[in-house]
Structure 1
């Protein structure tokens, strides 16, 4: 029996991700938020002509062409891109440059990165060996920037459906962002999904701000909130590991599920008493730090676009080598009490000249 033909669609997807991750291993990852993508796009189109912007684009292109750099995107970059007007000088031009500098690569959705980190953490806790490094598991192609999708046709036999799913997956694997943008056209209106969230967050923060006594206490509060969500993810991982060990599907009662979620929340929270956990569970740590820093600055208000920025920061600071972003976010994540550059050694820049100089160094390194 041909193992490749009988491999599940999920394993097929994972195999392609690992292959991509290994192909990107020798490249330094430079993450541009939308501000820097716009600067680079306008420079590529000749709209911006200042020397420093032209140098930055030159070094980015040189680094990608030489195999030293790659500029991956994330779901937040994609969602912000779709908000741009559909014309050659905006969305189409941005997508074309992203295709060039990203080599079609993207980070998997943040919730899946968090789940992958939790899986690695719990596998180690159970004494298991890490099969693949995180850098081989967190990259995908731009068509799957929002997650994997597999078509299903009930009239097909299981083998026919699997073959169809793999063919469809591989077709989209090579689909460019420019092709995605053309396919979407103006049919995907901008979403205002964070407007209500920012209003509710500001309201609650104002209500409880007098209870915050220190940054450490604020971080602890935010970490507990993040772990509330992560507990469900961890319980899923525990269940998967138990099924793998048993070699069969296992069912749980609602009570057993609730107990598992609570146990996982306690396990994750107490794990953060050890400093090394911040490295293993980077998404939880970075997210808690950023929200704590925002809340500790008691006069600062959340804006809808902040949530895109937080996603940019989590992706870049966790797994990239450089993060080019806006001034306020730069200052937020590099404050001494936050110091998120220390998580992964990712350097943060908001000044175009400083960013250009660092990209030049990365593009020249052997």
Structure 2
């Protein structure tokens, strides 16, 4: 078994173990509320109820609060202290049980791969819920050493041992190992500035939300086409049972073909369910552009990553008011994608989590 198949087997096993648990996704605002409550900094009844019911639900096996790559990156921006990054990591370990969603780019790739297989008539596929969960050490993607000085068998043995060693690591272990390091700049300040300038330049061209969605979809598919072309190439290699090398012209043709395929597939309503990452991301950006007086802020990119993870594959999303408003607008209605309930009010969130935690 290759290291890639070993990793996939661990993920499938993990995904199946989480089937009975409802997934509650907290954005950074709610993690801070819960952390400060756990540390005794916050004492208001609603926050205390929320933390109590989250803890009870996780302890009795009916809830889990997974994180994502964007949450990990936001966590690492907090000051390295018991009341901030260290305390947040400890509470995340408790409520997430060390579970994270795989990086969003890989979720999108997995969705596209499954979509293409179904288009070919292959129905014996793993459910997405068995493919998208991993342990926090792999929140940014799988890593394992490449050791050319060893034989292939020896290298594989070392890789598997290394993978399993990190699989057992907690988020607190990772935070302690990284110490008081400052994460690199994310570039979102410049990206938001450029986006706002371009949106202002073209704002008068927008005539409807549907048209705005279509514009954003075309832009998203420019990126997704490369991902789809990779999936097509992998499928071709699997059928040929050998490595295939595409010329630059063949690659360009494949990417264009995949872009056209994805765009026209979105004419069918069921594609929005199959390709959730694309649909949710497109909807969020379209909603922002259609609200012509609203400007992108650097932190919106993290918020959109949170929303995509939660709305696509979790049962509820606890977030801030403006994002709650954005995702639940009738034109957007992203709660309908996966039946994910969205809350920004702490009291309402606590009452909902109480109902879920009592189910166990």
2:330 to 336, 355, 359: 336
User: Secondary structure of 2:24's partner?
Assistant: strand
Matches within 5 A, 1:165-314: 165-189=159-183, 191-314=185-308
Partner residue of 1:365? 359
Residue 122 (1) aligns with residue 122 (2): no
Q: How many aligned positions are there?
A: 360
Partner residue of 2:92? 98
Equivalent-residue separation in structure 2 for 1:190 and 1:354 (angstroms):
36
1:68 to 62, 66, 84: 62
Structure 2 gap ranges (5+): none
Contact 1:83 1:190 (C-alpha < 8 Å) held by counterparts: no
Equivalent-residue separation in structure 2 for 1:95 and 1:273 (angstroms):
43
Coordinate RMSD, CA, aligned: 0.8
User: Secondary structure of 1:87's partner?
Assistant: coil
Equivalent-residue separation in structure 2 for 1:68 and 1:317 (angstroms):
19
Deviation (angstroms), 1:190? 5.3
Question: Which TM-score applies when normalising by structure 1?
Answer: 0.97
User: Secondary structure of 2:25's partner?
Assistant: strand
Deviation (angstroms), 1:113? 0.2
Following TM superposition, the consecutive aligned residue runs of length 4 or more in structure 1 with deviations greater than 6 angstroms are none
Structure 1 residues 306-346: Cα deviation after superposition (integer angstroms, max 9, x where no partner): 00000000000000000000000000000000000000000
User: Secondary structure of 2:298's partner?
Assistant: coil
Question: Which TM-score applies when normalising by structure 2?
Answer: 0.99
Contact 1:317 1:344 (C-alpha < 8 Å) held by counterparts: yes
Equivalent-residue separation in structure 1 for 2:14 and 2:182 (angstroms):
29
Contact 1:82 1:190 (C-alpha < 8 Å) held by counterparts: no
Partner residue of 2:80? 86
Equivalent-residue separation in structure 1 for 2:125 and 2:287 (angstroms):
35
2:153 to 156, 159, 162: 159
Contact 2:137 2:166 (C-alpha < 8 Å) held by counterparts: yes
Structure 1 gap ranges (5+): 1-6
